Amino acid sequence: MKNDPAPPFSLRDSNGGNFFFSDYIGPKKKQQVKGIILSFFASYCEPCRHELPVLNSLVDEFEKKGIKVVIVGSKEDFDKISAMLDELKVDKPIILSDTYGKTGQKYGVTGLPMTFFIGADGKVKDMIRGELPNIEKALREKAGKLLK
């Protein structure tokens, strides 16, 4: 998957609209970004509960550098994921629901959390599978690769 083109997708967002990957990456993009951090999670996933607040705390820093943070509830609808995100006070990333797991399947998500770092060229620059001990440092390092 590393250095492969990231599969395009479209999912419902938490505001009732649609998120189109192609609005950010590719020839028809509407927003200029240097990359996307795409993290798949689920409400029952304990490691996700550790990672999401850290990711949330880095959104402003990444946005200033032109990196969008997008989190995707894997095989869960907004009712399920909203309660967890409220509890964890995760409110800054773009929040999507992959109710049927089709987007996760395109990305080869086999466990959670699974986080992809996608460059402006649309290629997967790096990924994190599962929980890391120093997740904040890892997220910053891998996000830095999107700026090169």
- pLDDT value at residue 31: 86
Enclosing H/E stretch for 72: strand 67-74
Nearest to 36 by CA among 114, 101, 124: 124
pLDDT by 10s per residue, the chain, length 148: 788 999 999 999 999 999 999 999 887 888 889 999 999 999 999 999 999 999 999 999 999 999 999 999 999 999 999 999 999 999 999 999 999 999 999 999 999 999 999 999 999 999 999 988 899 999 999 999 998 7
- pLDDT value at residue 27: 79
Q: In the chain, what are the domains?
A: 10-147 (3.40.30.10)
Q: How many angstroms separate the CA atoms of 135 and 93, rounded?
A: 17
